Amino acid sequence: MTMAKAQNLEMLFHETLKDILYAEKQILKALPKMARSASSNELKQAFFAHRDETETHVERLQQIFEMIDKPARGKTCDAILGIVEEGKEVMEEFAASPALDAGLTASAQAVEHYEIARYGTLKTWAGQLGLKDAAKLLDQTLQEEIKTDKLLTQLAEQSVNAKAA
Ligand code: FE
Ligand code: FE
C-alpha cells in the first residue's frame, strides 16, 4: 500500500479497501490450488469452503465501494503477493513430503492473519468515519477470517502437524 497520497482517514480507508480487494482476488485464485495440493481431505475441504467465503468477501467489498461512491478497483498489494509466493514455494518444495499439509496450513494462516489485520483496521476506521453499514460488513468478514484461522489451528493441532513430524 502506498501511503504518499493518503492525506486523511477517508482517503486512507479508500486506499486500504483497494489493497484488500486486490488481496481477496489473489486469495480467490490461490485457495483452489492449495486445496488441490493438500493431501488431507479435511484440509482440502477447509480450503474449498473458505474459497466460497472469499467470494462473499469480494462482494461485501464491492458493496462498500458503492457506499462510498467509488469504483470497486483494487490496487497491487505487495504483501499478499509475497505471502502467496511463499505458499507456492512450500507447495513445490514439500510436494512429496509428509510435511506438505503442515506447510500449507501455515501459509494459509499467514494469509488469514494479513486479512484479520486489514479488516480489523478497516472496521475501526469505518466506525470513525460514521460508515456504520460498512463497519458491519467488514466485521462479518473479519469474523469469518478469525473462524477460518481457528479451524486451521485445530487441523494443525489434531492431525496435520503429527503427520509431518
Ligand atoms: Fe477474505
Ligand atoms: Fe480469508
Q: Residue ranges per domain, the chain?
A: 3-164
CATH topology of domain 3-164: Ferritin (1.20.1260)
pTM (two decimals): 0.92
- The per-residue pLDDT for range 81-112, each reduced to its tens digit, is 999 999 999 999 999 899 999 999 999 999 99
Residue 88 alpha carbon to ligand 2 centre in Å: 17
pLDDT given at position 162: 78
Segment 21-62, tens digit of pLDDT: 999 999 999 999 999 999 999 999 999 999 999 999 999 999
Pinpoint the alpha helices (H) of the chain.
9-37, 41-67, 78-93, 100-128, 132-155, 161-164
**Per residue in 6-15, pLDDT tens?**
479 999 999 9
Return all residues near 19 (Cβ < 8 A) that are at least 6 apart. 1, 74, 75, 77, 118
| Residues 115-124, mean pLDDT to the nearest whole number | 98
| 56 C-alpha to ligand 2 centroid (Å) | 11
**pLDDT-based confidence at 161, cuts 50/70/90?**
confident
Ligand 1 center to residue 159 CA distance, Å?
Answer: 24
pLDDT for res 1: 53
Cell numbers standing for residue 62: 464491492
CA proximity to 157, closest of 104, 88, 102: 102
Within a 13 Å sphere around the CA of 31, how many CA atoms are in the beta-carbon half?
23
Nearest CA among 110, 114, 139 for reference residue 124: 139
Ligand 2 centre distance from Cα of residue 50 (Å): 7
- Residue keyed to cell 460508515: 131
